[in-house]
Structure 1
Amino acid sequence: MSAKPIFVATHPRACSTAFERVFMTRRDTLVCEHEPFGDAFYYGPERLSERFEKDPEAREQSGFSQTTYKDVFDRIEQDASQGRANPEALHYPYPLIHVRLNRPDHSASLAFIGQRSKARKTCRLTPAMTHKQDKRVFIKDMAYYLMPPVADGSDKPTTIAPSLLKEGNHHTTATTTTAPNGTRRSDVSETASSGNPTVVPLAILEKYHFAFLIRHPRRAIPSYYRCCVPPQSEVTGFHHYMPSEAGYAELARLFDFLRARKLVGPANARDGEQAAPGTGEVTITVLDADDLLDKPREVIEAFCRETGIDYHPDMLSWDDPENQRYVSGVFAKWNGFHNDAINSTKLSARTTAHKTLTVESENEEWRRKYGDEAAKVIRASVDENIPYYEYLKSFAIKV
């Protein structure tokens, strides 16, 4: 059984934060990292997203404008060495004023974080990423945060993030190109390892135990769209819907690459196969959010079995002040996206069955909620991503 740090790769609105809450109850054995790579993806000098490209004030006031991908990995390693993630300080080595620019006066968004250290410490990435008390890192994040968007028409080539060159033992090339953030830079990285769709070297990726969480686009994409338009966008700070952030294509690309490199598989948890003993092999572990909502105990127990986490039934309940305070601090990072998870007290099976939906009824619902043009955008995005979902679904655990 693999003892590597766990990386649950997903896409937006896949019930992943509710899933994550289960494992936040195990702070005795796990160090949970909540969506850490969005800092570099959206705001930092190596940013890959266009969302805040024309809004330097938002990038600066986010507190992450200097955050590189290496900084994120260093933060994770620092948390592992200390045995805990610090939601109050957000464990960032910069002078952070955490502002989402999501209210007219920004008053509810301000949170003073800390002072710059003149001698900022960095942590070498170690294979196990476990600390003295044998706590294991548990990351939940979007797969698309690790790679250039594949659906925004930009067709960016994938190169290793410059800050991670040393970790990947890559060499720089004496060329000048346009960086993702639009600035000119020399001595950029060579292209990523053959077939690697991410900006993270294979040498780092192979240190993680990857699992995957998916949800049908007809449910995830309208939910994400709602977060990107008024009134919810005034809270989230995401003021328009970007189809490239649906995240299914990137998740499928990451899955295929890891599978081709045997970082997951060939054993498939779906079929009850077991990883070869003593090999450190990682079974293909794909979870579907609908299964999670219908049979939470069975799905969580199966996931724990495949990832080597000691399962306890009380992981499904967190109705106590300590847990609530902890998650409120952690989830405040992405304000407005996680309200349901913050206010929840347990993960229990839903009691109402899904309605039988048709394309026509879906379109009508979206038109009623968001208007004709928005409904067309949602429909196009849903239809584009169904093949990726169905492909990944074919590997999903059966419970």
Structure 2
Amino acid sequence: MVPSEERPIFLATHPRSCSTAFERVFMTRDKDIFCIHEPFGDAFYYGPERLSSRYEGDHNDAIGNREKSGFHESTYNSVLEDIERSGKEEKRVFIKDMACYLIPPSDHSTFENPVLVPSVTPLAAYNGNGTHPSTIKNPTILPLSVLKRFQFAFLIRNPRKAVPSYYRCCVPPLNEMTGFKYFMPNEAGYRELRVLFEYLLEEGVIRHPSSSRGENSVYKNVCVIDADDLLDNPKVVVEKFCAMTGLDFDAKMLEWGAHEGCGNFDKWKGFHEDAIGSSGLQPRTKKKTKTREEEIQEWVDKYGEEAAGVIDRTADENMEDYEFLRQFRVIV
């Protein structure tokens, strides 16, 4: 296995978690860090092994949308090959991506019995667990031997903030830019993030700090960042993240030029405009606390009663998974 501090960092998250702003922190280190922005979405949405139903089908619209993306030939293995090539740049690789891209969604035929996608099946050895068979069923579409190549960290955000933000990207006027013409509750991503987290924990790819032992064990410690902590105390959170992932911290990482080096965000237009236009991470001065009733009324005012109900239910459905992951968060 590649030494932990040399493995690509894989920041696994869910949509609208403030992850792109966090990614921009590491984009400031272009001399020693190579950032890869959501690579597995190419295969998940557009390629021949796609798991999402958003652009599924053989009708002209679906085919046209996939081809227009430029990723209609992307497979999970081609994404992995691109990542491996990036690692030869003598820089530490930092990947930010959605856990839901690695796990079949609820409307997929393999939802209850996940299988490895065809392009990566040859990479699996003995159930994808190196030289020893695993007794734990793999819930992802990648072999465990491949997952072990990465050093995982996690970023979460309260679903009552993330879900309405995602809904906004899927309705007019913003959806004209994003291309996501409707909201799909099963894209919220918390279930998949928890499933991935628990699987990696059970297989020892990540470990709770209390159980970590031995040389370099810190690099296997569970690293979960909550977006609220990041927004309130960016310097402390980023410094702790660097310590847990084997990176040197530099306070200059918290400042950057607006719109600088954001070309890789173009494939997801409309989703990252705030992060693109930002110039750094500063502690927020006011933390708005709203009652549930105030939240719902705000959604009603913006989107109507029916939509507010969808947002409210989706947020509630994902709260248990969020709270589970939150118990592991890095304390600041």
Same fold (TM over 0.5): yes
Report the alpha carbon displacement of residue 298 of structure 1 after superposing the two structures with TM.
Answer: 0.2
Report the alpha carbon displacement of residue 325 of structure 1 after superposing the two structures with TM.
Answer: 3.7
CA distance in 2, matches of 1:312, 1:285: 19
CA distance in 1, matches of 2:126, 2:50: 20
CA distance in 1, matches of 2:267, 2:241: 26
TM-score, normalising length from structure 2? 0.91
Q: Decide which of 210, 228, 237 is 1:299's aligned counterpart.
A: 237
Q: Which residue in 1 is equivalent to 2:193?
A: 251
Cα deviation per residue 1:117-152 (whole Å; 9 max; x = unaligned)? Answer: xxxxxxxxxxxxxxxx3x1111000000011013x4
Residues 278, 394 of structure 1: alpha-carbon distance in 2 compared, 3 angstrom cutoff:
closer
Report the alpha carbon displacement of residue 247 of structure 1 after superposing the two structures with TM.
Answer: 0.1
Q: SS of the residue aligned with 1:354? A: coil
Q: Decide which of 100, 109, 121 is 1:165's aligned counterpart.
A: 121
Q: Decide which of 317, 331, 337 is 2:255's aligned counterpart.
A: 317
Q: Which residue in 2 is equivalent to 1:74?
A: 81
Cα deviation per residue 1:85-118 (whole Å; 9 max; x = unaligned)? Answer: xxxxxxxxxxxxxxxxxxxxxxxxxxxxxxxxxx
User: CA contact under 8 A between 1:265 and 1:281: conserved in structure 2?
Assistant: no
User: CA contact under 8 A between 1:265 and 1:282: conserved in structure 2?
Assistant: yes
Amino acid at match of 1:43: Y
**Unmatched 5+ stretches in structure 2:** 128-133
CA distance in 2, matches of 1:18, 1:260: 30
CA distance in 1, matches of 2:126, 2:42: 24
Q: Which residue in 2 is equivalent to 1:224?
A: 166
Residues 338, 275 of structure 1: alpha-carbon distance in 2 compared, 3 angstrom cutoff:
farther
CA distance in 2, matches of 1:200, 1:153: 16
Report the alpha carbon displacement of residue 195 of structure 1 after superposing the two structures with TM.
Answer: 2.1
Amino acid at match of 2:221: T
Q: SS of the residue aligned with 1:326? A: coil
**Quick check: which has more Rg, 1 or 2?**
1
CA distance in 2, matches of 1:276, 1:218: 39
CA distance in 2, matches of 1:43, 1:234: 18
CA distance in 1, matches of 2:191, 2:95: 20
Q: Percent identity?
A: 51
Q: Which residue in 2 is equivalent to 1:10?
A: 13
Q: Decide which of 16, 35, 39 is 1:36's aligned counterpart.
A: 39
Q: Decide which of 269, 276, 282 is 1:348's aligned counterpart.
A: 282
Tell whether 2:139 aligns with 1:197: yes
Q: Decide which of 277, 286, 304 is 2:224's aligned counterpart.
A: 286
Report the alpha carbon displacement of residue 266 of structure 1 after superposing the two structures with TM.
Answer: 3.0
Q: Which residue in 2 is equivalent to 1:308?
A: 246
User: CA contact under 8 A between 1:38 and 1:145: conserved in structure 2?
Assistant: yes
Residues 158, 343 of structure 1: alpha-carbon distance in 2 compared, 3 angstrom cutoff:
same
Mapping for residues 173-184 of structure 1, pairs under 5 Å: none
How many residue pairs are counted as aligned between the two chains? 318
Q: Decide which of 146, 150, 155 is 1:208's aligned counterpart.
A: 150
Report the alpha carbon displacement of residue 194 of structure 1 after superposing the two structures with TM.
Answer: 3.7
CA distance in 2, matches of 1:215, 1:13: 8
Cα deviation per residue 1:270-314 (whole Å; 9 max; x = unaligned)? Answer: xxx976324585000100000000000000000000000000000
Higher helix share: 2
Amino acid at match of 2:261: Y
Q: SS of the residue aligned with 1:276? A: coil
TM-score, normalising length from structure 1? 0.76
Q: Note the aligned Cα RMSD (angstroms).
A: 1.9
Residues 60, 199 of structure 1: alpha-carbon distance in 2 compared, 3 angstrom cutoff:
same
Cα deviation per residue 1:307-361 (whole Å; 9 max; x = unaligned)? Answer: 00000000000127xxx4412x111121010001101111111111222x22221
Q: Decide which of 271, 291, 296 is 1:358's aligned counterpart.
A: 291
Q: SS of the residue aligned with 2:95? A: strand
